[in-house]
Amino acid sequence: MFALLAVGAGTWQWAVHLPQDRVETLTLTRPLVTAAPAPCPWRDPQGDLRVFFPTADRYQTRMVSLSGSRLPILKRLGPAVSLASNSLSVFPLFHGTAPRGAVLIQRAAGEYGVIEVVVGVDTVGRVQGVRLQRLREPDRIARALTDPPWLRSFRGKTAADPWRLGGDVPDRPAPARASARIIVGTVRSLLIEYDVVRRREEQLR
């Protein structure tokens, strides 16, 4: 359940009501009219937490600006890859006050429309799980992309891995290969963005 708490001078606050009377507040400060794309929502927090982080009992919502980290991110992404967004949707996870990791979410342009990718990472940036929370690919392709063994093959990987379809990531049938490359590239980009941001924040502490 979502409730708009306040709007004024470009500042929006939303409360997300979760089970057991937990409330999450997200504050976004921005112009009232903007061409920037809306952040991708996390559509099934409870379901994803149950699978990826069963010990987590709460999460926060952060929109992290990448403007101060563009150069190191682009250097690690490589010359053929660009930033999909100027911000990163991060959902830090906790058990009580103890960090358990984070969930990262991004929209990617698939062959047949938007693919929404959810990536769970532990406290050192290792993948705990990947889920496609929304996609528009035809049924045959969608089945290949949401195949549980294929998605489980992402588990344990980090931003430092090659992320090569048909190499360290199992290949997909030819009709699904183009969209599979997009998904693999999106997960890699999210991990690199998160790793750069996390290291930068640690240096500033």
Q: Where are the alpha helices (DSSP H) in the chain?
A: 45-52, 70-77, 139-145, 148-152, 174-204
Instruction: Tell me what pLDDT residue 37 has.
Output: 58
> Read out DSSP for 8-41?
ETTEEEEEEEEGGGEEEEEEEE--SS--SPPPPP
pLDDT digits (tens, 9 = 90+) for 177-187: 999 999 999 99
CA–CA separation, 102 and 120 (whole Å): 6
- Model's pTM, two decimal places? 0.81
Q: What is the mean pLDDT of the chain?
A: 85
Please give the average per-residue pLDDT across 116-141, as a whole number: 97
pLDDT digits (tens, 9 = 90+) for 65-74: 998 899 999 9
pLDDT digits (tens, 9 = 90+) for 23-62: 443 433 443 333 445 789 999 999 999 999 999 999 999 9
108 — pLDDT class (breaks 50, 70, 90): very high
- Per-residue pLDDT for 111 more than 80? yes
Sign of CA dihedral 79, 80, 83, 89: negative
- Per-residue pLDDT for 2 more than 70? no
Beta-strand pair 98-109/127-134: unpaired
Percent of the chain with pLDDT over 70: 82
pLDDT digits (tens, 9 = 90+) for 145-193: 999 999 999 999 999 999 999 999 999 999 999 999 999 999 999 999 9
Residue with tokens 């930033």: 83
Please give the average per-residue pLDDT across 18-26, as a whole number: 44
Residue type (1 letter), 33: V
Please give the average per-residue pLDDT across 83-101, as a whole number: 94
Instruction: Tell me what pLDDT residue 10 has.
Output: 43
